[in-house]
Structure 1
Amino acid sequence: MSRTRVALRLIALLIMLSSCGQKFSGISWNFLDRNKLEVRETNFEYFSGKAKINYKDDEHDVKAKANVRIRKDSVIWISFSAIGIQGARCLIDKDSITILNLVKKEYYVFNYDSLSKRFNFDINFEAIQAVALGNLIKEKDRNDEVEKNEDFYVLKQRSGNVSIHNFVSPKTMKIERVEMLEPDSKNTAVIRYYDYQMVEDQAFPYSAIISLFYKANAGTLNTVIEFEYNKAQIESKELKFPFSIPKKYERK
């Protein structure tokens, strides 16, 4: 598998990383004042969770379990396993993304600058963290547009050449869908958040589906990732993020 394709699948997996056990109160908002659209975001210092992941593309259909730990604005740590065997470990920090393949004894390192150029989108730690939590990928600014349809407030943003449409529930003020389009390549990503439940005093999406359509040598490909938490909690104590690369592992 080419490094480019590995990177694309990695980004697909991370994007999804990141809805109704409790009722939410509605928000009264004057639509004429666009600057007052406030999306409710998940906020904490430490987070941990357990989830099931189903990854499917033109070649693979993989089911795995994942343990996730996050220190907000610092690091995301993920351990993947299948049939009780730990298969991979991923560390995402401010500088890069590193993946250990524990089965093949090899590892990958991706820096954000090269990934951003490759996909024509500003990929960084903050964007990955936002998607994992159901938060805005790009901070609101005065150039954003807001529309209202029958079901959602639609916050329209741009990041370079990529358009981002955030569909926000008027009842919960949480994001339920994100649509991204890179017009030159026609590459698209759609993220859908479901089953929002309260984790302490934070509304958190327990389920997500990501659909990616992108061009490759074989034509337009589709990758779908389904993600479902069975446990999610905000931690009051400091978490550990064990991660080291054995000397015998080969860098790919």
Structure 2
Amino acid sequence: MKNKLHSKIYLGAMVLIMAFIQFSCKTTYDLGVIKAKPMSDAKLYRNLIDSSLHYNTLFVKKFSANYTVDGVKKSFKGAIKIQKDSLIWISITAPVGGLEVARLMISQDSVKMIDRMKKKYFIDDYDFFRKKLNVDLNFKSLQAILTNSVFQATNGEKEKSFIRSFNGRIIDNMYVFTSEKSRKVDRKLRKDKLKRLSRFGYQRVDIDPSLMRITDVLVKDFVDLRDVSVKYRDFKMYEDRKFPQRLSFEVIDPKHLLSCSVKFNKIAFDDKLKFSFKISSKYERIYP
């Protein structure tokens, strides 16, 4: 009888230990484990902002990326530093050997890049992203994409407050914000009235009710017939903040297909960072 009791205690202890190990080793959070419940747009937006990433600096010490443009695939590694609302610094290294091949410094009004391999550099404005990536970006939207934060794609229109520009609803157990005229857009799409869509912008933001974090963003540009999608997956706790390990985006238009997937590793917040960006006098300036 005593041996049976000891055996039950031993088995119970083992079950508790194994459960603790499984919980402790859990690296990512599952999406969709909590059912979305109706709430006002103002409360949904407030909850989203409250649970979003709060930081002064962000340091992605290591990332790896796969990049495809019109069927041509490339891979690279690197690091990212962000001083909130001020600077984005990106170092790109070769996939093998760790040699830096390029460095970018992005501010509120300029994009600068050093090409180590060709010993050249350029200084441009945000038209660079339209010319090279065929996508409209500014500092605010780029920072938001990199930090899993909400942003507005205004499509040239005067930006209004988020609550005035978007409507909240529940779709497939996800909280979803859609741009205010999205129902008109949907009706015209169903009736194939594409020519009447040029004055509309369309944006959809999906929010997981379990984490109250953005998982998907879709932007449609009906002037240039361009779709831009951003996806966040594999959320993990870094220090005391939830952040996705994987970011992917895709740009599709009638002429091009661009996609990029990024895996983040070794992330730190609020460290004191240096944003070194020294251009050698031997480098040639180019005008992209």
TM exceeds 0.5? yes
Call closer, same or farther: CA 1:58–1:121 in 2, change over 3 Å.
closer
Correspondence for 2:284: 250
Whole-Å Cα distance in 2 between the matches of residues 246 and 59 of structure 1? 34
Residue identity matched to 2:203: I
Cα distance, 1:122 vs. partner? 6.0
Matched with 1:9 is none
* Alignment CA distance shift 1:120-1:81 (3 Å): closer
Q: TM-score, normalised by structure 2?
A: 0.71
State the alpha-carbon separation in 2 of the partners of residues 117 and 224 from structure 1.
15
Higher helix content, 1 or 2: 2
SS of residue paired to 2:212: coil
Once the 2 structures are TM-superposed, how far is the Cα of residue 214 of structure 1 from its aligned partner?
2.4
For 1:191 and 1:28, the matched residues in 2 are separated by: 22
Aligned to 1:127, the other structure's residue is in SS state: helix
Give the letter for the 1:73 counterpart.
D
Instruction: String of CA shifts for 1:111-163, please: whole Å, max 9, x gaps.
Output: 13x458879976321111000011002262323111211231111137x8532
Contiguous gaps of at least 5 residues in structure 1: 1-19
TM-score (norm 1): 0.80
Where 1:141 maps in the other structure, the secondary structure is helix
Encode CA deviations 1:86-122: one digit per residue, 9 max, x unaligned: 100011111211111110111222213x458879976
Hey, what's the Cα distance between the residues in 2 that align with 1:140 and 1:249?
44
Q: Is the 8 A contact 2:36 2:175 kept in 1?
A: no
Pick aligned residue for 1:142 from 164, 167, 170: 164
Matches within 5 A, 1:101-180: 101-112=115-126, 114=127, 123-138=137-152, 140-157=162-179, 161-180=200-219
**Aligned amino acid, residue 94 of structure 1:** Q
Root-mean-square deviation over aligned CA pairs: 2.7
Q: Which has the larger radius of gyration?
A: 2
Query: Mind listing any 5+ residue stretches in structure 2 that lack a counterpart?
Result: 1-26, 153-160, 181-198
Structure 2 residue identity aligned to 1:238: K
Superposed CA offset, 1:186-224 (max 9, x none): 111111100111122221111011111124xxxx21111
Structure 2 equivalent of residue 193 of structure 1: 232
Q: Give the AA of the match of 1:80.
A: I
Relative to structure 1, the CA distance from residue 27 to residue 70 in structure 2 (aligned partners, 3 Å threshold; closer, same or farther) is farther
Mapped partners of 1:247, 1:210: distance in 2 = 36
Identical columns (%): 25
Aligned residue for 1:65? 77
User: Secondary structure, in 3 states, of the residue corresponding to 1:128?
Assistant: helix
1:238 aligns with 2:252: no
Describe the superposition over 1:3-44 as per-residue Cα deviations: whole angstroms up to 9, x where unpaired.
xxxxxxxxxxxxxxxxx625799598543x221113131111
Letter in 2 for 1:154: V
